Structure 1
Amino acid sequence: MNSARDPRIAIVGAGLGGLVCARVLQQHGRAVTVFEREAAADARPQGGSLDMHPDTGQAALRAAGLLDRFHALARPEGDEWRVLDFATAALLAQHGPTPDGGRPEIDRGQLRGLLLDSLTRGTVRWDHAVSGVIPLADGTCRLLLGDGTAEDFDLVIGADGAWSRVRPALSQAVPGYTGVTFLETGFDHCDTRHPELARLVGNGSMLVKGAGRTLVAQRNSNGHIRAYVALRAPQDWQVAAGVDLGDQQAVRTHLLEVFDDWDERLRYLLRNSDTGFTNRPLFVLPAPHTWEHVPGVTLLGDAAHLMPPVGLGANLAMLDGADLAHALVAASDLGDAVRAYESTMLPRSIEAATGSAQGLDHLVPATASELALPRRH
């Protein structure tokens, strides 16, 4: 940029999109600071397996100069879906992997580690929670930290997910409940300890759908299977069911009752997991979610366009990060760069939000008449 100094850029959130943005900026010699509330990179599990799409996630990794390292970690064989009948566990359909390995899978934690390792040491300030941002009259932005201190930046990028502390500077939108809740659980050393389940899941993912009830299980690295029980239910379903979420046996008993007409080989997933069930109600931002440009601040990923988890979110967040970084490097004016990015990202996210909402309806159909084979996004 044609200025006396490079702009001061802060990214709030060390997720995939924010880290891609930081990596591409550093590739072009730009300074950037990432603020992350977690105490360390390994402070919590990072979630399941992701399929990286060629035109989004892989495009972002190529822009970051990390595509070859990604392929060294990825599992092309994981791009496989097995669809089973809920009443018999019979195989109804099988998709992928494609001959060219077009959407290889990778554990989210592995991908995040790859991005973190690519950054200049000290880029991420761990244990630095952000409480909010204040756009200032001179076009800069004040970052408010959880410890009561503040720092000023020329641009603050909100990459801090569903409950973003940066978003209120641009939009009053808040996430709303979709009507679908996931309960997450897991199986360790699946090939030796849970061989029948491992066979049903295969190399990639298993999908079983019933009216308002869906089971998804996906193979992760190191012999782990991560499973999700998806229910169309009120957000406080456990209250009506009289279930204490802290009582794992009570949760198991309830789920076995909900799935009482399913094949016993599938109910094994409910009965014998190695970890407890984590309740994850799904939220989305209103679509379309847009805002008027505000100098000094913008959003990417879930902070900008929170969608159902049907395979688009992480890919889009990474593409957002790469696009924003490229815009910042290419433009001579910071405001022009952000406007250019937003003019591309916002229409793209509106289209993706529509597709993701439809994808959730197909993943967890409300009625038996809506049961159909899944669509790929």
Structure 2
Amino acid sequence: MVFWRRQKNPGAAEAEAQEQRLFQPEGEPALEPPVEYDAEIDPEAARALDPTESEMLEDMRETPLPSSRTPGRARSGSGWLSRLTLGLSKSAGRLTQGVADLMTKRRLDAQALAGLEDVLIQADCGPAVAAQIVEAVSQARFGQEATEEEVRAVLASEIERILSHVAQPLAFTKPKKGPFVLLMCGVNGSGKTTTAGKIAHHLAFREKKRVMLAACDTFRAAAVEQLAEWAERAGCRMAQGEIGADAGAVAFQAYEEARAVGKDVLIVDTAGRLQNQANLMAELGKIVRVLQKQDPEAPHGCLLVLDGTAGQNAHAQVEVFGQAAPVSGLVVTKLDGAAKGGVVVALAQRFGTPIPLVGVGEGAEDLQAFTPRDYARALVGLPTG
């Protein structure tokens, strides 16, 4: 496990004492000795990961409680494919308009291909993916007359091919002893707690599993309240500690309780953290080690929740969180919030990490299994289904 050396400053001693009181309050079980940070974040990576002023203001907003719509019931006249299409409409609009502007001559020449590559990059597909897709389009239609719909069909086919390698559903196979442990992680405001609640709701109502939630975000009372609301909607037990309690201790106690009462799945929600906060990234690693003391194979799944509006910054999050926790899958949320749906394609091509779920809204039904064909067609403005 790799951690980073905390940078010293004139108030280091006082800060360390305050941190010790926060992470190891009196009366909490001493699960392991204090963490030593024996490595540093690369300076270039740290600069890239520093939050902008707007991101910091966004993170300070209180996370909204779950939608009051009846759990599990889709909005009238709005199935999942319709919501996916609507959610990706901003991205699709940009791509569709870009293709339409390029195809005024109706011949796919070198100039049109160069313009198409720019359009894909603007949709956050990234240069490597854009070049790969354009090469496929070139091989299929170069020098030929082509309609806008024909070009979009080729785009959808190539995007689907890239995405097909990462479309893997979540599988909750209960271990011989104890519950299946699913660890949730991500930056502030990514939708991590909401995603944990939606997964719990799905497992409880659709798969009839006995689920327990663990509120290991011990910094924000609002996060605990939000998870408690989801637990109530899903009919799940929720374990929690006092605000400021040791997150590892909460996870430890939650696992013991879940095992004692025969739960099938334990979903551990952790505090949102920026990737360059070394102490909090180390805390995430500590939670992993605490769970492994209970079950060497735990966590059996670890989902990194990414805000779809983050664009290319999502790449840095995957890299850094993967060093602190055994990330086994990505969940991309808020895809309805910006014209950056291409980032999913870029992540699939670069990392190959499974993407079991995507989200396009706040309701329980707005988080669904990732299907490459539907996503690819919705992204380029073609009919789904």
Structures share fold, TM-score greater than 0.5: no
* TM-score bin (small chain): under 0.3
TM-score w.r.t. the length of structure 2 is: 0.24
* Bigger strand fraction: 1
Q: Which has the higher helix share?
A: 2
